[in-house]
Amino acid sequence: MRIGIICHPTYGGSGVVASELALSLAENGHSIHLFSHDVPPRLLRGSGGVELHVAQGSPYPLFHSTPHDLAIMSRVLDLHRSEGLDVLHAHYALPHAISALLVREAARSAKLDPLKVVTTLHGTDITLVGNDPSYAPLTQYAITASDAVTVVSEDLAARTRVNFDGGPSCGIHVIPNFVDLEEFRPVEERSEIASAIHISNFRRVKRVPWLVNAFADALAMLRAQGKDAELVLVGDGPQLGETRRVARERDVCDRVRFLGLRSDLAELLAPADLFCLASTEESFGLSALEAMSSGTAVLGTRVGGVAEVVVDGTTGVLVDPTDRAAFAGEMARLLGDRQEAAQLGAAARERAVARFDRRTVVEQYVSLYRELVGGAGPCP
Ligand code: GMT
């Protein structure tokens, strides 16, 4: 099949899923075009068989900012005219689903071959951003006009129905996120001292300062038992400064390592004892899955779709997001008992293999594309 994929070129999960999907589909022999306004981080090391189209548009004095989404739409339309696409897959409702629908409409009016639009919702696109009154009507349109809508968890499907009038009349396809089990795999050697790791874009929803506070509490408990631990923070974003401030205030700078943006995530995740996720909402938690695949146990908050990924008590521990004392207590317990953390990590790897293997999940997208292209698609 000839498939176009549009995504944000960010370190956030939607760009990662779109890039990994594109790489897998290309590897399986499909013709894949990925459109974005910059090179997505997961394609920086090579784009395999994926044809990458970076469209940034041109600045013009009338524009407040350069409308790269218009440039992307023009590029997709141009490619559809010259080579033809069967499916256009938008990751994140805004603006990509709207862009894809406009391209479908433009193709119709130019009497080009029809192309089907698949929209994958990732979370904040229907909760924080898409649900904002300034965008909600257009998000509603993106959801109802797409030929198919997929979401990354059952929880997100339910939220989509609640926030957007029951969701698309033709239903929502739940296709979970996936992981490359070869790339993210366990290693024999753990880090020298007990180690917790967190990876994110340091947006407010991730609560990294809260996590550092919990770690400081946990470290005090561990030190009282003559033990030691470190917290490794990977990524960058709006709350990095605030996170550093909390580390200074709590006097744990010598035990919190800030690594910034990194591409060697697999190498960082596998030696850690614990992956920590302190989010206030999370539709799935892709980084937690990558940790699980690496054989690292997860300590997370019980929000959104996280419980569909992490099995509480078996592959990690989930606590109430308002209970920092419980989070710190579990952190101290698991970093203090590395054997227990390793057992949870082994079960986590088993779950990643059984439920979230890249090859199996990518096949679910391929089946959906085939249904739509074959005319048996449910929408609209
Ligand atoms: O929260 C992020 O890191 C970014 C955001 C995105 O859309 O790029 O992530 C969302 O999509 C990921 C991939 O499907 C999910 O794993 C994340 O749980 C989800 N984030 C939230 O719901 C807050």
Q: In degrees rounded to 5, what are phi and psi of residue 116?
A: -95, 140
Residue 186 is assigned to a structural domain of this protein? no
282 C-alpha to center of ligand 1: Å? 7
pLDDT tens digits, 176-195: 999 999 999 999 999 999 99
336 lies in the same domain as 367: no
Question: What CATH number did the domain enclosing 340 receive?
Answer: 3.40.50.2000
Return d(Cα 246, Cα 115) in angstroms, integer: 50
237 lies in the same domain as 276: yes
- What is residue 45's predicted lDDT score, i.e. its pLDDT? 84
251 lies in the same domain as 364: no
88 C-alpha to center of ligand 1: Å? 21
- Structure token pair of residue 235: 């990524």
Within 114-234, strands assigned E span: 116-121, 148-151, 173-174, 194-199, 229-234
What percent of the chain is modeled with pLDDT above 70? Answer: 99
Residue 184 is assigned to a structural domain of this protein? no
**Ligand 1 atom, smallest distance to 284 CA:** 18
- What is residue 129's predicted lDDT score, i.e. its pLDDT? 84
- What is residue 378's predicted lDDT score, i.e. its pLDDT? 55
345 C-alpha to center of ligand 1: Å? 22
- What is residue 131's predicted lDDT score, i.e. its pLDDT? 83
Confidence of residue 120 (pLDDT cuts 50, 70, 90): very high
Residue of 7, 282, 309 best suited for mutating to test ligand 1, as the one with most atoms within 8 Å of CB: 282
In this predicted structure, the answer to whether residue 294 has a pLDDT above a threshold of 90 is: yes
198 lies in the same domain as 293: yes
SS3 71: helix
Residue 187 is assigned to a structural domain of this protein? no
125 C-alpha to center of ligand 1: Å? 9
In this predicted structure, the answer to whether residue 124 has a pLDDT above a threshold of 60 is: yes
Residue of 283, 301, 302, 358 best suited for mutating to test ligand 1, as the one with most atoms within 8 Å of CB: 283
337 lies in the same domain as 362: no
Confidence of residue 215 (pLDDT cuts 50, 70, 90): very high
**Ligand 1 atom, smallest distance to 128 CA:** 23
Return d(Cα 75, Cα 57) in angstroms, integer: 10
Residue 259 is assigned to a structural domain of this protein? yes
Specify the pTM: 0.95
Total structural domains in the chain?
A: 2
204 lies in the same domain as 316: yes
- What is residue 35's predicted lDDT score, i.e. its pLDDT? 98
- What is residue 288's predicted lDDT score, i.e. its pLDDT? 98
- What is residue 279's predicted lDDT score, i.e. its pLDDT? 98
pLDDT tens digits, 338-375: 999 999 999 999 999 999 999 999 999 999 999 999 98
Residue 49 is assigned to a structural domain of this protein? yes
In this predicted structure, the answer to whether residue 376 has a pLDDT above a threshold of 80 is: no
Domain around 129: 2-178+358-373
pLDDT tens digits, 220-279: 999 999 999 999 999 999 999 999 999 999 999 999 999 999 999 999 999 999 999 999
160 lies in the same domain as 241: no
281 lies in the same domain as 334: yes
10 C-alpha to center of ligand 1: Å? 11
**List of long-range contacts for 47-53, beta carbons under 8 Å, 24+ apart:** 47/23, 48/23, 49/23, 50/22, 50/23, 50/26, 53/79
Return d(Cα 176, Cα 20) in angstroms, integer: 13
Residue of 6, 36, 89, 122 best suited for mutating to test ligand 1, as the one with most atoms within 8 Å of CB: 122
Q: State the burial class of residue 251 (Cβ atoms within 10 Å of its Cβ: 0-12, 13-18, 19+).
A: exposed
Residue 378 is assigned to a structural domain of this protein? no
**Ligand 1 atom, smallest distance to 152 CA:** 14
Average pLDDT over residues 129-152: 93
Q: Which residues line ligand 1 (CB under 6 A)?
A: 12-15, 17, 92, 122-124, 152, 177, 200-201, 205, 279, 281-286
pLDDT tens digits, 91-118: 999 999 999 999 999 999 999 999 999 9
- Answer yes or no: are the C-beta atoms of 348 and 313 closer than 8 Å: no
325 lies in the same domain as 297: yes
Query: Atom 12, ligand 1: which residue's CA is nearest?
Result: 13
172 lies in the same domain as 274: no
Residue 24 is assigned to a structural domain of this protein? yes
Which of 19-28, 41-50, 335-344 has the least mean pLDDT? 41-50
Residue 20 is assigned to a structural domain of this protein? yes
34 lies in the same domain as 160: yes
86 lies in the same domain as 112: yes
